[in-house]
Structure 1
Amino acid sequence: MVAVSLGTETNGSIICPADHNSVIGFKPTVGLTSRAGVIPISPRQDSVGTVSDAVYVLDAIVGFDPRDSQAIEEASKFIPNGGYKQFFNKDGLTGKRLGVVRNPFSYFYNESTAILAFEAHLNTLRQRGAILVDNLEKENIDIIMDPNECGESTALLAELKLNINGYLRELTSSPVRSLADIIAFNLNSSDLRRLMNMDRKSLWHQR
C-alpha cells in the first residue's frame, strides 16, 4: 500500500510482519534512532525501524536527539560520515558468509510455498557470490525460543514497569499518568476491554 513506513520494535514488531508479507523489514541498532515519544517496553530492545527502501529512510532518521541522548551517544560510533547509502554495491555479497538456521523455523512453514520462496532467495544469494553456511544448529535453541525459560518475558515486564511512568509524565494530555493509573483504568473498564477483545476477534476471523 505504501513505499515506506516507520514502526517501532521491541520484540519482532517490524521483522515479523515484514517476514509474513515478503517485504524488507529493518530494525536498527538500539540508539541509532531516537525513541523519544515511543512507549517504552524494554530500553535494551526498543528501536524505530523502517520497511522498504530501508537504507534511505535510515539515513534520514539517524542522529542525535537530546531526549534519548544516552542510547544515541553509545550508538553514534556506528553512524558513518556520508550515511549508509554510500555502501550500496551490486557486488557487495561477493565473499560474504551468511549462516542459515533452519531448525526450528522451517517447521513453521512445513508444506508451505514459503519454503520454495526461501530456497529461491538462497539460490539468488549464492549466484551473487555469497557463501552460505547452511543448516547451522543453535545451542540451547529450545531455551532461546521459550520466552519464559530464556528470561525474555521477565525482562520485558520488569523494564516496562521501570520506564512507563516517565513516558506517561511527558504526555501533554492523558487521563493516565502512571502504571497504577493504567491498572486502575483497566480494572474499572472491564466492559470496554471485553468489547475491544470481541472486536479484535471478529476482525481476525474475517481475515
Structure 2
Amino acid sequence: MRPERLFEILAVAERLKCNTRHSWTSTGRRESVAEHSWRLALMALLVADEFPDVDCGRVVRMCLVHDLGEAFTGDIPAFEKRRQDETHEAALLARWVETLPEPLRAEWRSLYAEMEALATPEARLYKALDKLEAVIQHNEADIATWLPLEYDLNIAYGADEVAWNGYLRRLKEAANEISRQKIAAAKEQAPDDAGK
C-alpha cells in the first residue's frame, strides 16, 4: 500500500480517538471509540484459549474494525440508537470501504458481512465481547456517571449475545455481580436518589 493511501486510511481511523462514547473511564473522563475497540481486541486475545475452535485472529480483526462507521457518524448510545441510525452508519461505512485498495477492500467487505450475519462462532464471539466490554467499562466508571436507566440496562445488556456459550455466560454473570454491588452501594449512600 502506498504511504499516502495508508495515511488517508489512518486519518479516518484517527477520528475514533476523538469521538467519545457514552461510557466514562475510571479516572472520570469520556472513553473514546478507539479505546473501546482496542480493549475489545485485547479481550479477544485474552480469552482465545477458551475458544480453541474459533479463529481468534479473525475475531481480533472484527474487534478492531467494528466501530469504524462511527468515524463518520460519531457514537450513538445503544439505548438511543434507532434502526435508521444503524442503516445510515452502515451505508457511510460501506461507501468508504469501497474506496479501499485491494485486497483490503475484499477482506473488510467479508468481515463486515460476517459480523452483520452473526452466523459464525467468530462473529458471535466478537459481538458478545463487544457487549461485555461495555458492561465492564461501566462497572469501572463512577456510578455517578450512569444514567438511571443504566441500573437495569447494565444487568440486561449483552445477555442474548452471551447465551450461546458457558464461558461467556459466566463472564456476564461475574460482571453483573459487580454491577449489582455498585448499585447496592450507591443506593446505601443515597437511598432517595439511586436507581430512579
Higher helix proportion (structure 1 or 2): 2
Instruction: Select the structure of larger CA radius of gyration.
Output: 1
TM (norm. structure 2) is: 0.32
Greater RCO, 1 or 2 (C-alpha within 8 Å, sep 6+): 2
Higher strand proportion (structure 1 or 2): 1
TM (norm. structure 1) is: 0.30
